[in-house]
Amino acid sequence: MKIFVTGGTGFVGQELIGQLLNAQYSVRVLIRAGSASIYSNKIETVTGDTTDPASLKAALEGCDAVIHLVGIIREFPSRGISFARLHPESTGNLLQAAEEQGISRFLHMSANRARADAVTDYHKSKWAAEELVRQSNLDWTIFRPSLIFGAADQFVNLLAGLIKALPLVPVMGDGRYRLQPVCVTDVASGFVAALRVKESISRTYHCGGPNAYSYDEILDLIGLALGKKMPLRKLHQPLSLMKPLVAMLQSLPQFPMTSNQLQMLLEGNCCDPTEWKETFKLELTEFPEGISAFLK
């Protein structure tokens, strides 16, 4: 069975491809023109871009299923990188290519809290992409992960760097907003399992870790994993000051947050992963144990 993967060079994609190979699947990965391949000769690559429908013609031929991971968490409009282009537009292009090339199975990565009445453009665009998947003629499955963590993530490692470098860790607002981190290995395992679980067709799964924590608690857990003395010292920044500051600085590529990201953080990111866990027989990784494995 040959699986066509988009977003294969990303954080989740690299873990997924390793698991697909271990499960004895053949893998074809879409890479952009001019990108150096990071893959061994065990993996077939094809040049193309999900934002360019012409580049997808014949790219999927001979494959049995598509796993679509392409997504962004931040826009750079001056470079043509937008939520609308990378989420619904790319998804529509890939769905059309799959139908034209005779592939019926389509696994799609969305995001927890994607919804029609979302506040942020990120969640709105993820919902729009989901709608295209649901309206297709394919045997689809949608996954909605919460905050994904792992050795190569950008969230835990960023916070760990701040904790190491600063005597006081800055916190937006009161730090009580809750997150439910899910391990990248568990997210990838769900995708791989779905390829053989027929009852997952036409279903949407919320993918979260076994427990939710406040942002302050997450900082403390990262501090403990780093061997820091508790309680961790935090500096809570009033949102009345931080929201306009973020809005002013978000256009700078080196600034680590946008107004969209701040809003999503304050909304929280929790879900009930029971159906996902039980359908695919997953043993979910606890956040403290998971981060200790790579922060140490």
> Per-residue pLDDT tens for 148-162?
999 999 999 999 999
d(CA 194, CA 166): 43
- Provide mean pLDDT across the span 121-142: 98
In 3D space, the residue among 165, 103, 109, 107 whose CA is nearest the CA of residue 141 turns out to be 107
**Pick among 2.60.40.10, 3.40.50.720, 1.10.3720.10, 3.40.190.80: CATH of 2-148+182-208+270-284:** 3.40.50.720
Instruction: Please give the structure tokens belonging to residue 45.
Output: 């690559």
> Per-residue pLDDT tens for 160-201?
999 999 999 999 999 999 999 999 999 999 999 999 999 999
Backbone angles phi, psi at 276, to 5 degrees: -60, -50
Residues paired with residue 108 on neighbouring β-strands, in sequence order? 68, 142
Domain boundaries, the chain: 2-148+182-208+270-284
Are residues 290 and 188 in contact, defined by beta-carbon separation less than 8 angstroms? Answer: no
d(CA 194, CA 56): 24
In 3D space, the residue among 243, 257, 8, 287 whose CA is nearest the CA of residue 147 turns out to be 287
The residue to which tokens 């939710």 are assigned: 212
> Per-residue pLDDT tens for 194-249?
999 999 999 999 999 999 999 999 999 999 999 999 989 999 999 999 999 999 99
pLDDT at 295: 95
How would you classify residue 217: left for phi > 0, otherwise alpha for psi between -120 and 50, otherwise beta? alpha
Q: Which pTM was predicted? A: 0.96
Residue 87 DSSP code: I
pLDDT at 33: 78
* Percent of the chain residues topping a pLDDT of 90: 91
